[in-house]
Amino acid sequence: MYAVPGDKKVKVGVLGATGTVGQRFIALLETHPYFVVHALGASARSAGKSYALGTNWKQTTPIPAGVRDLVIRPCNPEHFQECAVVFSGLDADVAGDIEASFRAAELAVFSNAKSYRRDLNVPLVVPLVNPHHFNIIPQQRALHSPPLQKGFIVTNANCSTTGIVIPLVALERAFGPIESCIITTLQAISGAGYPGVPSLDIFDNVVPYISGEEEKIEWETLKILGELAQTDGEFAFEMHAHTPLRVSASCTRVPVIEGHTETVSVRFARRPAPSPQQVREALAAYAPAVQSAGCPSAPRHAIWVHEEPDRPQPRLDRMFQQGAGVSVGRVRQCPVLDIKFVVLSNNVNIGAATSSIINAEMAISTGLIAV
């Protein structure tokens, strides 16, 4: 069924395995049809312990049986040589060097860290949006010294960017370029990792600031929605420069455990702008390439459009489709721009671990990784 030959299992490694995103990788992979967790990497403090003993497990399902007794390794490529895929949930302060060393060791790295998102040769891929940006990878390999045969790094986007670009790409496909977009985010505490946000800061409170977050949304959106242009045989991300897109984000932290809610207003280049009903239909109809490629973790509905006036809501909707799609609701006219709506995305799943997993599935499906 899936584009994996036969019943072959694919060994994967997880870096930052004891952290919030690492734990979610492990929980999600438990039931994966072909990925099998084979190696776990974490800081020296945990290395050498069994996963069960070395991890302060915070998921609401038990540690998968096949992972409990795996010994945690230091984040050194030698321990991951058998892994066809390496998922990284490393913190940004260490991810840069470690991920580079894994790539240099000819490993395929799918990273949640921000270290390489702005790299001119690393694709920043939201799997429901722009897996065609994988096309830069041969150039990434070629520019490495020495040139690589198999190693590469793919990053996924910041969690709050992810929720935005999925509906935006659907709208651009249907109605042409978007000119401007104003966003306010209401982000969950799990987005800050563990220990993350002190309870005294966020109980009965809103913190209207997340360091660096607005800049990420405003910049990453351009890289993801822009084209991968080819000039004289050289690939470059054009950053939506052909039809300039202005993005303005205001980011807040709210007392919610999981699920980022975002209010969005957009203005289209095309006049007249599409109606709310046309927008609803375009969102619901959006079919990303990862679906037709048979990626098993791709959601059946990339975008679920709610008709109820008070949805989506993080507590009720964040686990729909295992958190692999996004929910959109309240599509209506904006008196200032054209259309406004509300998006909900699961920041730990499609906003982090699930995106990496689908990216890896897509890399296998397209032959970027041979299995």
Residues of this chain that interact with a copy of itself (CB under 8 A) are 20, 58-62, 180-182, 184, 186, 189-190, 194-209, 211, 218, 246-248, 250, 252, 254-257, 261, 263, 265, 309-316, 318-320, 329-330, 334-337, 340, 342
Distance (Å) of CA 172 to CA 93, 255, 276, 299: 35, 33, 15, 20
Among 88, 91, 93, CA closest to 122: 88
Judge contact between 282 and 226, C-beta under 8 A: no
Kindly give the pairing relationship between strand 108-111 and strand 35-42.
unpaired
Cβ proximity to a copy of itself: between 99 and 213 the closer is: 213
For the question of residue 38 being annotated catalytic, the response is no
**What does the alpha-carbon distance between residue 38 and residue 44 come to, in Å, rounded to a whole number?**
19
Q: Which CB, 110 or 304, lies closer to a copy of itself?
A: 304
The catalytic position among 38, 75, 79, 159 is 159
Query: How far, in Å, CA of 125 to CA of 131, rounded?
Result: 6
- How far lies 345's CA from each of 4, 134, 324, in Å? 28, 23, 8
Q: Measured from the CB atom, is 29 or 189 closer to a copy of itself?
A: 189
236 — phi, psi (to 5°)?
Answer: -150, 145
Q: Based on the residue annotation, tell me whether 295 is a catalytic residue of this protein.
A: no
DSSP 33-50: SSEEEEEEEE-TTTTTSB
Q: Which is nearer to a copy of itself, 47 or 319 (CB)?
A: 319
How far apart are alpha carbons 186 and 189 in whole angstroms?
10
The minimum distance between CB 189 and a copy of itself, in angstroms, equals 5
Cβ-proximal residues to 22 (8 Å cutoff; 6+ apart), any chain: 14, 15, 16, 40, 42, 89
For a copy of itself, the closer of residues 218 and 227 by Cβ is: 218
Nearest distance in Å: CB 8, a copy of itself:
30
State in angstroms the smallest separation of the CB of 179 from a copy of itself. 9
Name which of 16 and 314 has its Cβ closer to a copy of itself.
314
Please state the closest distance from residue 188 (CB atom) to a copy of itself, in A.
Answer: 9
Is the Cβ of residue 155 or residue 265 nearer to a copy of itself in the bound state? Answer: 265
70's tokens: 């795996």
CB of 163 to a copy of itself, least distance (A): 13
Alpha carbon 355 to its chain centroid, in Å, reads 4
Name the active-site residue from 38, 260, 295, 306.
260
Write down the least CB distance from residue 203 to a copy of itself, Å: 5
Positive or negative: CA dihedral 303, 305, 306, 309: positive
CA distance 288 to 155: 18
Q: Which two tokens stand for residue 39?
A: 């190696």
DSSP letters, 149-195, are SS-EEEE---HHHHHHHHHHHHHHHHH--EEEEEEEEEE-GGGG-SS
Minimum Å gap between C-beta 69 and a copy of itself is: 16
Q: What are the residue numbers of the active site?
A: 159, 260
